[in-house]
Amino acid sequence: MTPEEFRTAGHALIDWIADYRKSVPSLPVQAQVKPGDVARQLPAEAPVAPEEFMSVLADLDRVVVPGLTQIQHPMYFGWFPSNAVLSSVLGDLAASGLGALGITWQSAPALTEVEEVVVDWMRRLTGLPAQWRGAIHDTASTACLVAILAAREQASDYSEARGGLQSEQAPLTVYTTEHAHSSVAKAVALAGFGMDNLRLVEVDPDTYAMRPDSLRQMIEEDLLRGCKPAAVVVSIGTTGTTAIDPLAEITPIAREHGLWLHVDAAMAGSALFLPEMRWLVDGISEADSLAWNPHKWLGTVLDCSLLYVRDPQHLVRVMSTNPSYLRSTVDGEVTQYKDWGIPLGRRFRALKLWFQLRLDGPEAIRARLRRDLANARWLADTAEATPNWRVLAPVHLQTVCLRHEPSHLVSTGGDILDGEALDAHTLAWADAINASGAALVTPSRLNGRWVVRVSIGAELTELSDVEAVWKLLREKAGATLQ
């Protein structure tokens, strides 16, 4: 394809994207396809001869759009928001168009330096400590793995340069809670700690937040047992209920025992744009690393996850592919991002953030986040005030965990009379909503029972949409009992 052919096709594609985005509110939220429906519409073999651009574009409408759950829909209340604001889409397109190769500073100086500056803008916008440095990773799962590897090397005094974990005398242990994201256990497994050495610290039964006293006790027991406590992963906004582990009470314990403290704020990090929400990370200056996803609520197109560390020199020493392990980041004049994470080749991901911040501006982003927090408060307060509805976890952010509790299944005192029937009821009304295509919510397990998460924060979701989903919840929950 020549630049002139690209120009013509590209204009058509931009028009198509704009039309598609305008049409999203009229589409079913949950994809109405069955397994195999999409693949069946594609030929088994790749085309032999080149096709017309317009026939490819037509297949976006015919095959692709019906095969997508509409995450940008105003009635999307599933998992977590995964906004893709159009200003950042432009930055992503520019990044692809530039075709830059980020393997060293020299291969694309602007790729490195725009990332350094934008990541620091984001640090300032979220109030993180001045000396912290960061990089953009694909996902919070990768960022967590990188942090856990840094923790492993701190605890083992750079065992990677010797026999690795295989030559360690004492098992290294990691602490988190059962509410931490599955990527934490995955990182612990992949980093070679072994699942036997992942400790699930008790949580407060009402808030689902880590109990610092229980963490301390587990560490002390492990020390007596001959283990070496290596890291604690604190969740600021768990995926299930957006529980907030008490960071300020956990940091002294981590410091006292020399543990690496990683903060997973994948979802909640966006809230740090709001000064009134910075309490979420009280104590952060005593932590070692923090990861969060602009690609969730903030609205930067997937994939954009920020990992900040207090001591970049340590990270570089762990991740460096150069044999000179003692080299520090300040030795050279430039940042080599290949030494800040796992991949060598990196995309120009900073552009989508750069475009978004410059084109939308932080104030408009803050206004949207405040809107969503207020809408979640409205839903929680309304549900609390409605007979037979219960809000099952504190609402600190934009996610509300709800259950419809009919009187014959749950007593007025809150005792569950028939758990199996309650679960069946919850799944029935939630699945009915999702199957209808009118809205999407996520059933999820909490304390061994099904609840329904209503996660507010799609870019297009206004209070009227939250009112509409609340009406739908009541209709479907009532309807399934008839």
Q: Please, what is the minimum distance in Å from the beta carbon of residue 305 to ligand PLP? A: 5
Question: Can you give the binding site for ligand PLP, defined by CB under 6 A?
Answer: 80, 139-141, 181, 183, 235, 237-239, 264, 266-267, 293, 305
Q: Are strands 172-177 and 228-235 parallel, antiparallel or unpaired?
A: parallel
Between 139 and 159, CB nearer to ligand PLP? 139
Between 438 and 452, CB nearer to ligand PLP? 452
Between 293 and 426, CB nearer to ligand PLP? 293
Q: Which two tokens stand for residue 77?
A: 């209340």
Between 422 and 440, CB nearer to ligand PLP? 440
Report the alpha-carbon distance of residue 422 to residue 437 in Å, rounded: 24
Between 80 and 175, CB nearer to ligand PLP? 80
Q: Which two tokens stand for residue 155?
A: 């605890």
Q: Please, what is the minimum distance in Å from the beta carbon of residue 291 to ligand PLP? A: 8
Hey, is 395 helix, strand or coil?
Answer: coil
Q: How far is CA 197 from CA 176, 403, 441, in A?
A: 11, 35, 34
Hey, is 301 helix, strand or coil?
Answer: coil
In this structure, are residues 268 and 397 in contact, taking their beta carbons and an 8 Å threshold? yes
Q: Please, what is the minimum distance in Å from the beta carbon of residue 82 to ligand PLP? A: 9
Q: Please, what is the minimum distance in Å from the beta carbon of residue 290 to ligand PLP? A: 12
Between 116 and 138, CB nearer to ligand PLP? 138
Pick the closest to residue 369 from 299, 465, 264, 469 (CA basis): 299
Report the alpha-carbon distance of residue 228 to residue 218 in Å, rounded: 12
Between 91 and 237, CB nearer to ligand PLP? 237
The dihedral sign for the CA sequence 210, 212, 214, 218: positive
Tell me which long-range contacts 382-390 makes (C-beta under 8 A, separation of at least 24).
382/470, 383/470, 386/474, 390/414
Q: Please, what is the minimum distance in Å from the beta carbon of residue 293 to ligand PLP? A: 5
Report the alpha-carbon distance of residue 258 to residue 239 in Å, rounded: 27
Q: Please, what is the minimum distance in Å from the beta carbon of residue 193 to ligand PLP? A: 18
Between 376 and 409, CB nearer to ligand PLP? 376
Between 239 and 426, CB nearer to ligand PLP? 239
- Other Cβ atoms less than 10 A from the Cβ of 366: the count is 16
Q: Please, what is the minimum distance in Å from the beta carbon of residue 357 to ligand PLP? A: 20
Q: Please, what is the minimum distance in Å from the beta carbon of residue 130 to ligand PLP? A: 25
Q: How far is CA 304 from CA 81, 137, 293, 294, 350, in A?
A: 14, 6, 6, 6, 8
Q: Please, what is the minimum distance in Å from the beta carbon of residue 152 to ligand PLP? A: 19
Report the alpha-carbon distance of residue 378 to residue 373 in Å, rounded: 9
Report the alpha-carbon distance of residue 451 to residue 447 in Å, rounded: 9
Torsion of CA 220, 226, 230, 236, to 10 degrees: -40
